[in-house]
Amino acid sequence: MDSELNIGIYKKKKQQRKQLIEAGIIIAIALIFAIILPIVLPAFRLRLFGRFLALTIVALGIDLIWGYTGLLSLGHGIFFALGGYAIAMHLKLQIPEGQLPDFFTLYGVNKLPWFWQPFYSFPFTLVALVVIPGIVAGLLGYLVFRNRIKGVYFSILTQAALLVFFNFFNGQQKLINGTNGLKTDTERIFDLLVSSATVQRTFYILTVIFLVLIYLFCRWLTSGRFGRLLIAIRDDETRVRFSGYDPTGFKVLVFAISGAIAGIAGALYTVQTGIITPAIMQVAFSIEMVIWVAVGGRGTLIGAIIGTLLVRLAQTFLSERFPQVWLFFQGALFLTVVTVLPNGIVGWFKDYAWQKVQFLLGLRQPLVTYPQIEEDPAIQREREQLTRE
Amino acid sequence: MTNKILEIENLTVSFDGFKALNNLNFSMNAGELRVIIGPNGAGKTTFLDVITGKVQPTKGRVLFKGKNLKKIPEHKITRMGIGRKFQTPRVYLNLTVRENLDLVANRNKNVFPTLFGYSSSTEKRNVAGLIETIGLDAKADLLADLLSHGEKQRLEIGMLVAQSPDLLLVDEPAAGLTDEETANVGALLLSLAERHSIIAIEHDMEFVRQIAQDKVTVLHQGSVLCEGKMEQVQNDPRVIEVYLGEPPEE
């Protein structure tokens, strides 16, 4: 009994040490991103990198539902755009009282549409850019999951929903400037120009902070019982029902959370891009989000971040040098990942490369298939008996 | 009056006109271990599907502890106290043995308690005890994917018990096991029968002989062909004709 207790304490200490190391790494990387990069990179590059970091946030949301819960959404552009439009509407309203945002006059609108009104308020906007995408995702999820629609049918439905939203936003000039979108660069926030270097740097640092917070939030979600249940739903939903859980509620919740995360990402992306248009809801962009997660590794949160940065940085680098062939690279990358590395880069590293590294460094390789000899109670008992005799 | 845990009255299930179950009547007492046998296509699995709510009856009704199970979703039936083990072991392969058990041992299975709750020390102790009962202590922290077929079977039975159901439905627990493993599973079922009511569906007559202490029910073409002690059933001419076949000449 004593030894069991000792093993328990030892395990706990080991776990705590691991957590400390991980927290240290996260803080170090966040500090590099938040403090060193703004000094090293020119403003233009920094802004670009900030946008990429915003995209990693939406990738985290996709990993949550696809990698953990097995729901492949091809419609995350909706939630991303909703967050972006929410912040853009607020910025558009930073004008002297009584005036309308400039584009309205083009279409002969002289009264602010009712749904613009609450966006005068900054706190409301902050809440709205999380809650509205969350609610839309939750509703969509509820309708779909309640009817036990799964797999490919779910993916097709999300893509259809994306097209509906795209066409709606595209067609409504008088409400949200249609296909031209909302330009935020020339607007002011707290009496500062949005495109000015200080504001952009603040947005960049905010993006880093949100990325860390949302990463930790996703870690918390996926590490406990809730996370294990998500994995169980992914692997065998019918069995989950017979374990006494109703998968519908869990799926709706996690889909809503994923939508809300996409909303935050959309807002951060919009202010660093300078404009939001319905083009953000094109089919290709939502599929690209899925590709980032696939490249990085499904079911590993860090993989979603790495995948996004890798694809996007490669895109920037290659499209600057070989503008015509970039899309071929992207296709090749996706094909390679799907055929050679089905678990993505991080999955490959975990399953294969890490062991190689350990081997090269001469570290002991842990056995996974059977209990290690030292920890096998049967062997320990035998040893005790032998020493007693 | 004896305490009936399960009563089934005039149950008919038809799939596009094909009657998988045909006017079936069945009842069992609390605490009983009932074995159901029958040839392929006799409706054994459909029988379990109806009880657990996976399939809705076309006609007739199923009463569990006197309550009609009509239109109650699967997870609620499970929470009422019916646990089911599937034909092939269905455990969560990407979770460890301990996590598998912890998930089903969870007392409150609604969304938010699961999100914010932690496993209580009673639950932890229950899980640890169960791991010992099913004999997987050395592999408690291994992924279920790495277990052998027999170990998965035992884990799944452990998961059933963790739900602390009143009625256990076990579908072919001995399928694909070695003789030794079969004997293990049989012993496990018998020890469980002390505190639970169990319905076991089985093909392996050797195994049926091991576990059938109470009644055996023979299903044929969607209805009950006969019911009784093992010896009676074995010697019933109708059962021999449709299922067992003539005993080899000696």
Running along chain B, 250 residues long, what does each successive block of 10 average in pLDDT? 79 85 87 85 85 88 86 89 86 90 84 79 86 84 86 87 87 81 84 87 82 84 84 81 64
Task: Single out the residue of A177, A175, A170, A206 nearest to residue A189, CA to CA.
Answer: A206
Q: Which residue, among A218, A245, A380, A382, would best test binding to B if mutated, counting the most B CBs under 10 Å from its CB?
A: A245
Residue A366: the pLDDT is 59
Better-scored residue on pLDDT, A11 or A45: A45
- B137 interfaces chain A, CB cutoff of 8 Å: yes
A335 CB-side CA count, 13 A = 6
Residues of B with Cβ-Cβ distance to A375 under 8 angstroms:
138
Give the C-alpha separation, B56 to B63, whole Å: 13
Task: Single out the residue of B139, B176, B175 nearest to residue B158, CA to CA.
Answer: B139
- A151 interfaces chain B, CB cutoff of 8 Å: no
Cross-chain residue pair B111–A225, CB shorter than 8 Å: no
Mean pLDDT of all residues in A43-52: 88
Task: Classify residue A34: in a domain, yes or no.
Answer: no
**What's the token pair of residue A28?**
């170090």
- B121 interfaces chain A, CB cutoff of 8 Å: no
- Gyration radius from chain A CA atoms: 24
Helix, strand counts (H, E) of chain B: 10, 10
- A18 interfaces chain B, CB cutoff of 8 Å: no
- Average pLDDT of chain A, as a whole number: 86
Torsion of CA A153, A259, A231, B130, to 10 degrees: -130
The total domain count for chain B is 2
Q: Which residue, among B45, B49, B75, B155, would best test binding to A if mutated, counting the most A CBs under 10 Å from its CB?
A: B75
Could you identify the residue written with the tokens 């749904």? A115
- A5 interfaces chain B, CB cutoff of 8 Å: no
First-last CA distance in chain B:
45
Cross-chain residue pair B73–A241, CB shorter than 8 Å: yes
Mean pLDDT of all residues in A261-289: 92
Of A225, A245, A370, the CB nearest to B117: A225
pLDDT band at A102 (very low <50, low <70, confident <90, very high): confident
Task: Classify residue A2: in a domain, yes or no.
Answer: no
Mean pLDDT of all residues in A164-171: 92
Cross-chain residue pair B79–A369, CB shorter than 8 Å: no
Query: SS3 for chain A, per residue?
Result: CHHHHHHHHHHHHHHHHHHHHHHHHHHHHHHHHHHHHHHHCCHHHHHHHHHHHHHHHHHHHHHHHHHHCCCCCCCHHHHHHHHHHHHHHHHHCCCCCCCCCCHHHHCCCCCCCHHHHHHHCHHHHHHHHHHHHHHHHHHHHHHHHHCCCCHHHHHHHHHHHHHHHHHHHHHCHHHHCHHHCEECCCCEECCEECCCHHHHHHHHHHHHHHHHHHHHHHHHHHHCHHHHHHHHHHHCHHHHHHCCCCHHHHHHHHHHHHHHHHHHHHHHHHHHHCEECHHHHCHHHHHHHHHHHHHHCCCCHHHHHHHHHHHHHHHHHHHHHCCCCHHHHHHHHHHHHHHHCCCHHHHHHHHHHHHHHHHHHCCCCCCCCCCCHHHCHHHHHHHHHHHHC
Residue B5: the pLDDT is 87
Residue A1: the pLDDT is 45
pLDDT band at A315 (very low <50, low <70, confident <90, very high): confident
Task: Single out the residue of A231, A240, A193, A5 nearest to residue A94, CA to CA.
Answer: A193
Q: How many CB atoms lie within 10 A of CB B204?
A: 17
Residues 6+ apart with CB under 8 A from A196: none
Largest CA-CA distance found in chain A, in angstroms, rounded = 99
Q: Are residues B13 and B131 in the same domain?
A: no
Residue B223: the pLDDT is 84
- B117 interfaces chain A, CB cutoff of 8 Å: yes
Helix residue spans in chain B (DSSP H): 44-52, 74-80, 97-105, 111-116, 121-133, 149-162, 179-193, 205-211, 230-235, 237-239
State which residues form the domain around B116: 96-142
Query: The domain that contains B10 carries what CATH number?
Result: 3.40.50.300
B89, closest residue in chain A (CA to CA): A239
ipTM: 0.84
State which residues form the domain around A354: 343-389
Of A229, A368, A377, the CB nearest to B137: A377
Give the C-alpha separation, B250 to B238, whole Å: 21
Mean pLDDT of all residues in A149-176: 91
- B111 interfaces chain A, CB cutoff of 8 Å: yes
Residues of B with Cβ-Cβ distance to A226 under 8 angstroms:
114-115
| Domain termination site, one of B107, B142, B177 | B142
What CA–CA distances, in Å, run from A276 to A133, A189, A270?
A: 16, 17, 6
Q: Are residues B126 and B60 in the same domain?
A: no
Distance from CA of B8 to the nearest CA of A (A): 20
Cross-chain residue pair B139–A226, CB shorter than 8 Å: no
- B115 interfaces chain A, CB cutoff of 8 Å: yes
Q: Which residue, among A242, A372, A381, would best test binding to B if mutated, counting the most B CBs under 10 Å from its CB?
A: A242
| A13-22, A374-383, B194-203, range with greatest mean pLDDT | B194-203
The total domain count for chain A is 2
Task: Classify residue B249: in a domain, yes or no.
Answer: no
B86, closest residue in chain A (CA to CA): A239
pLDDT band at A9 (very low <50, low <70, confident <90, very high): low
| Domain termination site, one of B142, B169, B202 | B142
Q: What angle do CA B188, B168, B229 make, to 5 degrees?
A: 75
Q: Are residues B76 and B20 in the same domain?
A: yes
pLDDT above 70: residue A5: no
Residue A87: the pLDDT is 92
Of A236, A249, A371, the CB nearest to B90: A236
Q: What angle do CA A270, A274, A277 make, to 5 degrees?
A: 65
Cross-chain residue pair B102–A253, CB shorter than 8 Å: no
Q: Are residues B130 and B186 in the same domain?
A: no
A222, closest residue in chain B (CA to CA): B115
Distance from CA of A235 to the nearest CA of B (A): 7
Mean pLDDT of all residues in A38-54: 87
Residues of B with Cβ-Cβ distance to A250 under 8 angstroms:
111, 114
| Domain termination site, one of B142, B174, B204 | B142
Q: Are residues A141 and A48 in the same domain?
A: yes
Task: Classify residue A276: in a domain, yes or no.
Answer: yes
- B119 interfaces chain A, CB cutoff of 8 Å: yes
B168, closest residue in chain A (CA to CA): A242
Residues of A with Cβ-Cβ distance to B83 under 8 angstroms:
242
Residue A4: the pLDDT is 54
Torsion of CA A329, A330, A332, A336, to 10 degrees: 130
Q: Are residues A59 and A128 in the same domain?
A: yes
The whole-angstrom distance between residue B112's C-alpha and the CA centroid of its chain comes to 30
Q: Are residues B130 and B154 in the same domain?
A: no
Decide: A165 and A81 in contact? Cβ < 8 Å. yes
Q: Are residues B181 and B76 in the same domain?
A: yes
Q: Are residues A282 and A359 in the same domain?
A: no
Residues of B with Cβ-Cβ distance to A249 under 8 angstroms:
110-111
Q: Are residues A159 and A92 in the same domain?
A: yes
Q: Encode pLDDT of A66-87 as tens digits.
A: 999 999 999 999 999 999 999 9
Q: How many CB atoms lie within 10 A of CB A268?
A: 27
pLDDT above 70: residue A163: yes
Cross-chain residue pair B79–A244, CB shorter than 8 Å: yes
Q: Are residues B82 and B180 in the same domain?
A: yes
Q: Encode pLDDT of A242-260 as tens digits.
A: 888 999 999 999 999 999 9
Decide: A138 and B111 in contact? Cβ < 8 Å. no
Residue A124: the pLDDT is 93
